[in-house]
Chain A
Amino acid sequence: MEKIYCPSCGKPNPIDNKFCDFCLTQFHPQEGDSADSEAPSVPGIGDNQNGLGGHESDSNVPDWLSELQQSNEMEDEKPLDSDPELGQPANAISDWMTGVSGDGEATVGEVSPAAPFLPDQGIDESQDIPHWLNDALIEEEAQDSVEDERPGEVPLGGEGRDVSQGDSSPPKISEETPGDRENAGPLAGLRGVLSAEAGAARVRKPRTYSAKLKVSTSQRAHIDLLNSLLEDEGQPQPLPQRRSISQQHVLRLGIALVLLLAILWPIVIASQEMPFPDYDEGSAEVNRLISQLPENARVLVGFDFEPGLAAELDTAAAPVFDHLLSEGALLTLISTSPSGPLLAERFIRSIKPDQELISGLEYVNLGYIPGGAVGLLSFIENPQGTIPFTIDGLSAWETEGRNGLPATTGISQITDYSMVILLVDDPDTARTWIEQLGPTITNPQVLTSFVLITSAQLEPVVRPYYESSPQPVNGLVVGLRGGAAYARIIGSDEFPGKFWDAFGMGTFVAALLILVGGLGYYVIPELSRTARGQEKVKR
């Protein structure tokens, strides 16, 4: 089936259609459009009647257009269906339109769909286009490009019309704009003249947008600043120079030197001028307990301190053990610290350098009890099962088939010891011993006493146990002061007096440094601050 293509919207229609099914554009010329009429039956002319009507009195309207207007008025009075001339050759197309179409031989019956209004066919520029049409096309193209930038506006062509509503009335022309007036060619001066070329037929290159980002000056400045910050971030920054000798360094060094001199001076001059303390309650109680021990009493000694405090504890314990050994006590040494057995061995060998105690006979070193509180409890519950051998690998305990070492003869449980002495520097270790041994020691039927020889720092922690009732701790020798007090009680020369003088001088200088230095640090800035405040008030 042959089709005719609408010159306005470019859509195919049956060949016998008078109007476009889609945009209602009239296809064929009316009967009244005789050959004498030079007005082309250009689709859209009829649409523009309203527009033309407004210019009837316009003196600029050419004659041919006036005739066309009259013929249109006559045409309006005829029903379209009664037009017998439909299908006749389109002899009404004027020469200029023929030129635009490029195919002047087209007839209605032979209308070629591609003839001049094919939407996908542009104007053949090789053909002769009148200069006025060329100008009009150029202007229209420019106007279209402007309209394209206003997406809210619907173009005047048939593409924008809503044909789906079935409105048979001619499409109304939208508001006139100055650009609607034709300014060239035979239609010059008319408004709303449709372009002879379908809009859809014009193929344009797609609009290209610049890929470059538009950056303002201030934004550029911020970008530069950010770039410089990021570059600086990656660069290693030199550390601030620390002064090799600061005020704090001088102060620390000064304190160390003063303290060292104060401690060394009595040792160098062998000064033993400072008196021992008169009386210490805890030391006196320990002295009483040791004095009441039976001959060859078995004494369990725990060495649970760190080697760093060996000087203090060895010195404090020396007079106690001097007294103990003079009473003929036999010692069993034990420790819950890995370094304890060696500390015990070292201490025992240093008590009497001229007369070393004999291992196994006068003392037994059982070594290390692993497990902390659990191991200690196990030893208290079952000494023979927990530590069956001495540190030298000898069998420590007396059994049925074998005699034990003299120092442990007759010992089967912890309460067989007459006394338990603990050398300790750590609050937790002291608490563990007291808690595990306390329930056994505090039993009124048990005669075993429990004595602590502690570092001075531990006194506040262990004193509550000593002062409670019943006493889990029966005696307390605290630090060098307690040892010195004990030495004074028993009249022993085992306590080295040169250490006592050095200790006394050291504590005195330390107290003086704290007092003077603290006041100096506090008072001097306060005075200077007050002086500055007064100066400000005066000003």
Chain B
Amino acid sequence: MRNLVYTAIAIGVGIVVLLGYFLQFDLLVNLRIVLLEWATILVATALLIGVVNLFIVHWRKSTTDQPNRVNSIALLAGLTITLGVAGWFGPTDPYSLWIFNYILIPIEASLMGILSVVLIYAGVRLLRRKPNLLSIVFITTAVVILLMTGPLFGIDIPGLAELRIWIGKVPAVAGARGILLGVSLGIIAAGLRILIGADRPYGGN
């Protein structure tokens, strides 16, 4: 019985929001807006619960004798300090921005730097590991895009700029369109399954 109620609520809300896209009745539009605001509040609450859960989990890890407890202690320290600074001074205060500018951004930027080295290394070894036509095409495309994305010292190699534009507009866009179409069809299928109750991610059999 309880599962039936869940299913009815989910299907009803889904249909109301979906119909709001197509029918511009005041009642339907207002109901849709209210439901969307509820969903936003629920997600924000879930985010807070997630943060609290994260704190509790790592608190337990740090208070028990576990091999990686140092990581948990570092996480708890970072969470507490950031929460304290942003909560006390405000999120846009220079102290809060200092933490953001000089801790978070350098860490993530350095990870991106490491990624660039790893990708070049993988490109170098690709022909050795898989010396076939697709690998050659892949490497050639990457080299052309890299060369023509930068200024290339002002050197104009005939045909290379046009090749770069063609690759960016035809094969790449064609592939991206295929991916987007696949994603869209998948989303439609998933949405319909939820609307008819075939999929119940909210629980129930």
Bound complex: CA A460 to CA B166 (Å): 12
Of B1-9, B67-75, B99-107, B194-202, the segment with at least 4 beta carbons within 8 Å of chain A is: B99-107
Please tell me if A276 contacts chain B, counting CB pairs below 8 Å.
yes
CA distance A14 to B61 in the complex (A): 94
What residues of A have a CB within 8 angstroms of the CB of B169 in the complex? 463, 467
Assess A507 versus B149: contact at CB under 8 Å? Given A359-B92, A382-B37.
Answer: yes
The minimal Cβ–Cβ distance linking B163 to chain A, given in whole angstroms, is 13
CB distance from B160 to the nearest CB of A (A): 11
Is B12 part of the binding interface, using a Cβ–Cβ cutoff of 8 Å? Answer: no
Docked Cα-Cα span, A526 to B116, in Å, equals: 28
> Bound complex: CA of A382 vs CA of B180, how far in Å?
28
Q: Is A490 among interface residues, defined by CB-CB distance under 8 A?
A: no
Residues of A within 8 A of B54 (CB): none
B88 in contact (CB, < 8 A)? no
Is A381 positioned at the interface, with any CB of B under 8 Å from its CB? Answer: yes
Closest-CB distance, A317 to chain B (whole angstroms): 15
In-complex Cβ contact of A464 among B40, B44, B101, B176 (8 A):
B176
Interface contact A459-B152, CB-CB below 8 Å: no
Besides A251-B124, A259-B117, 12 more A-B contacts (Cβ < 8 Å) are A274-B150, A275-B151, A307-B105, A346-B101, A459-B168, A461-B179, A463-B172, A463-B176, A464-B173, A511-B146, A518-B139, A522-B131
| List of A residues within 8 angstroms of B42 by Cβ | 371
Chain B proximity of A410: nearest CB distance (Å): 20
Asked if A513 is at the interface (CB within 8 A of a chain B CB), the reply is yes
**Bound Cα distance A525, B128 (Å):** 8
Nearest Cβ on chain A to B45's Cβ, whole angstroms? 9
A75→B40 CA distance, assembly (Å)? 124
Render B165-188 as a binary contact track against A, CB cut-off 8 A, 1 for contact. Answer: 000110011011101100100000
Tell me if A307 and B40 are in contact (CB < 8 A). Answer: no
Against A, the Cβ 8 Å flags (1 = close, 0 = not) of B18-29 are 000100000001
Q: Does A470 contact B (CB under 8 A)?
A: no
How far in angstroms is the closest Cβ of chain A from B141? 11
Interface string of A269-285 (1 = CB under 8 A from B): 00001111100000000
Which residues in A have their C-beta under 8 angstroms from that of B40? 369-371, 374-375, 378, 386
* Contact stretch, chosen from A53-61, A63-71, A498-506: A498-506
Q: Can you list 22 contacts pairing A with B, beta carbon distance less than 8 Å?
A: A251-B124, A252-B118, A259-B117, A274-B150, A276-B151, A308-B109, A308-B112, A345-B97, A365-B92, A367-B91, A371-B42, A371-B43, A375-B40, A378-B37, A378-B40, A382-B37, A391-B91, A460-B168, A507-B146, A510-B116, A518-B126, A521-B128
Residues of A within 8 A of B111 (CB): 308
Chain A residues closer than 8 Å to B168, beta-carbon distance: 459-460, 463
A386–B37 CA distance with the chains assembled, in angstroms: 6
- Which residues of A, 452-473, contact B by the 8 Å Cβ criterion? 456, 459-461, 463-464, 467
- Contacts of A335-387 to chain B: CB distance below 8 A: 338-339, 341-342, 345-346, 349, 359, 365, 367, 369-372, 374-375, 377-378, 381-382, 385-386
B residues near A (Cβ < 8 Å) are 21, 29, 32-33, 36-37, 39-40, 42-44, 47, 90-92, 96-97, 100-101, 104-105, 108-109, 111-112, 116-118, 120-121, 123-128, 131, 139, 142-143, 146-147, 149-154, 168-169, 172-173, 175-177, 179-180, 183
Q: Does A519 contact B (CB under 8 A)?
A: yes
Size bin of chain A's contact surface: 35 or more
A238 proximal to B (CB < 8 A) = no
Say if the beta carbon of A213 comes within 8 Å of chain B: no
Known: A256-B117, A378-B40, A504-B153. A391 touches B124 (CB 8 A): no
Chain B interface mostly: helix
Could you tell me if A463 and B173 are in contact, using CB atoms closer than 8 angstroms? Answer: yes
- A513 lies within 8 A of B151 (CB): no
| Cα of A517 to Cα of B125 in the assembled complex, Å | 8
Contacts of A481 in B (CB 8 A): 149-150
Among candidates A252, A342, A503, A504, residue contacting B117 with C-beta atoms closer than 8 Å: A252
Tell me whether A460 and B91 are in contact in the complex, defined as CB-CB below 8 angstroms, given that A308-B109, A374-B40, A504-B151 are known contacts.
no
Q: Which of B33, B120, B125, B179 has the most CB of A within 10 A?
A: B120
The answer, among B143, B151, B177, for a CB contact under 8 Å with A500, is: B151
| B43 near A507: Cβ-Cβ < 8 Å | no
A306 at the A/B interface (Cβ < 8 Å)?
Answer: yes
Query: Is A431 an interface residue, CB under 8 A from the partner?
Result: yes
Report, nearest first, the 6 A-B pairs whose CB atoms are least far apart. A308-B108, A517-B124, A507-B150, A378-B36, A522-B127, A460-B172
A521 touches B32 (CB 8 A): no
Return chain B residues, CB-CB under 8 Å to A506.
150
Chain B residue nearest to A520 in the complex (CB): B124
Residue of A nearest to B39 (CB): A374
**Interface digits, A217-231 against B, CB 8 Å rule (1 contact, 0 not)?**
000000000000000
In the complex, the answer to whether A439 meets B180 with C-beta atoms within 8 Å is no
Q: Is A309 an interface residue (CB 8 A)?
A: yes
